[in-house]
Structure 1
């Protein structure tokens, strides 16, 4: 079957073709189906912000390696013991790219994200089919088309952000970064009653999109002083909740200074492994009593993410679609920043 693979490690933005990273569509054997497994005919797989990092070799992987984990599709085959969730052939589904063991200390302690036997995806989603354990698979609501359903995984991340924030009605909220996670988080926290909702983003089109999604204010960090503007917008108080969805080591620098006393600062993106964030503990943790946390993956979030998807405006995140054979062009579009999200159509599903 056809599958998108990293075929050479290096930055996709590298102008030198000798050292530039690359992806390609390769033929790989179809994966075997275990007793409790589900084979999915993949309709769409969206490109995650982490996928170009995989091409860069940030995770230390050998090539070629298949990629893709934000997917939707139709069940094509069920293992004989895949019966616990009532799934059936023909169901429209999406799912969780990691599998939790369910039996280790952390799984039993309500902390699946720390599962000692966590099985990350080694079965790539940018492919014609994929095999997942039934525990990873979730039916899509009837009013969520497959083209939108591939966003279940990033929506689960935004749900996980809400779990970490525990928002209260009327709190002042700022979000840094208007990529897919930032835009999804913005919509969810708007539903939860955020006020002075501010989006910090250098790309004008994404600031406009954030406004259409309900942001009360936007800040362009390339032309505006983030701290001074934030203080002005909040009458000098700062934001009760500040969420970084940018992953930018430059973008996160002012965030402690715009967080209100007693506020929460959430790092909700992926950051370079060797980066050390400078933080004045005396000022921000002692005097200001900030609560600072991050998040890894999205335990216990998928059922709620599926339920809330019909309430979200996801049209702008599903406009750019490339066919599987055009994966190279799809990744070029992704790193160009032209689109907030890029999808790869892996199969044409009848009636999608």
Structure 2
């Protein structure tokens, strides 16, 4: 089958690879759509990826087959894929599979080949039916919106001022969800004009270029000197973290939705004490 494979010397390369061996307890999925996540890009740039890795964890597809122990599926049924599954550890059993540390089963960034390929194999519990009326392309964005919504929920604020740092897919998904949830004002910090325009269309009250505008001054203006009650870091840029320490309000909540692979330098770590804000991933 065809796949896009990571090679250390060349990067991402289209290759013909052997067909997947399907174990008795697994499903075979024909991939229809796959997203290119920011974490995929970060992993490629990090140098941590093993040669031969097949990335891709934001996927929609159709059921193409199943092993002898699998029941209850119909060939051709449309599904999206929950990227991570174990089902046995404490976190999985308490409804937090995204924290699985024991028997982690993850497509693209774990022990299962990813969806930059014609087919993937997954555990049945990883396949989620796509509702009627939702096309496969939009369905592939479910993981993106789920990550954004989980970040919002993890921040534990039900409204108020919010800064989204980074206007990639997850940042833009967060802007749209924040608008639907009634947060205001919503500010998007993003250097690329086209992404700022999308942010405004999705519901941002303000979209700022942090390279040419004074975000600190605008923060004081838009929050009446208080700072943002919620900050969602969605860019993966290490320098945004110390900046967020200065922009957040006392008692606020800072959530790292993005993954920063490099070192983070905090010039004023004491702000965590002075502001008593919540810092979480």
Same fold by TM-score greater than 0.5: yes
* Separation in structure 1 between the aligned mates of residue 226 and residue 205 of structure 2, nearest angstrom: 17
- Structure 2 match to 1:268: 257
- Structure 2 match to 1:117: 103
TM-superposed CA distance for 1:109, in Å, is 4.5
* Separation in structure 2 between the aligned mates of residue 216 and residue 285 of structure 1, nearest angstrom: 28
Aligned counterpart for 1:151 among listed residues 141, 144, 168: 141
- Structure 1 match to 2:88: 103
| Preserved CA contact (<8 Å) 2:152 2:232 | no
SS for the counterpart of 2:84 is coil
Show structure 2 runs of 5+ residues with no match.
Answer: none
* Separation in structure 2 between the aligned mates of residue 57 and residue 232 of structure 1, nearest angstrom: 38
Change (3 A) 1:132 1:114: closer
- Structure 2 match to 1:302: none
Q: Give RMSD over aligned pairs.
A: 1.8
Change (3 A) 1:91 1:64: same
* Separation in structure 2 between the aligned mates of residue 238 and residue 53 of structure 1, nearest angstrom: 30
- Structure 2 match to 1:315: none
Is it true that 1:287 corresponds to 2:274 in the alignment? yes
TM-superposed CA distance for 1:111, in Å, is 4.0
Show structure 1 runs of 5+ residues with no match.
Answer: 10-20, 295-352
- Structure 1 match to 2:64: 76
| Preserved CA contact (<8 Å) 2:114 2:120 | yes
SS for the counterpart of 1:248 is coil
- Structure 2 match to 1:338: none
Change (3 A) 1:287 1:8: closer
Change (3 A) 1:51 1:281: closer
- Correspondences of 1:176-215 after superposition (within 5 Å): 176-215=165-204
Moved over 4 A (4+): none
* Separation in structure 2 between the aligned mates of residue 57 and residue 202 of structure 1, nearest angstrom: 22
* Separation in structure 1 between the aligned mates of residue 40 and residue 92 of structure 2, nearest angstrom: 27
Aligned counterpart for 2:31 among listed residues 21, 42, 62: 42
| Preserved CA contact (<8 Å) 1:107 1:115 | no
- Structure 1 match to 2:74: 88
Looking at both structures, which has the greater relative contact order when contacts are Cα pairs under 8 Å and sequence separation is at least 6?
Answer: 1
Is it true that 1:164 corresponds to 2:164 in the alignment? no
* Separation in structure 1 between the aligned mates of residue 136 and residue 237 of structure 2, nearest angstrom: 31
Per-residue Cα deviation, 1:24-74 (whole angstroms, up to 9, x for no partner): 111111112222311111111121112233333532x33122222211111
* Separation in structure 2 between the aligned mates of residue 277 and residue 98 of structure 1, nearest angstrom: 31
- Structure 2 match to 1:4: 4
Give the stretch that moved more between structures: 152-161 or 217-226. 152-161
TM-score when scaled to structure 1? 0.74
* Separation in structure 2 between the aligned mates of residue 137 and residue 187 of structure 1, nearest angstrom: 26
- Structure 1 match to 2:130: 140
Change (3 A) 1:109 1:73: closer
* Separation in structure 2 between the aligned mates of residue 53 and residue 195 of structure 1, nearest angstrom: 31
* Separation in structure 1 between the aligned mates of residue 148 and residue 70 of structure 2, nearest angstrom: 29
> Aligned residue pairs: how many?
276
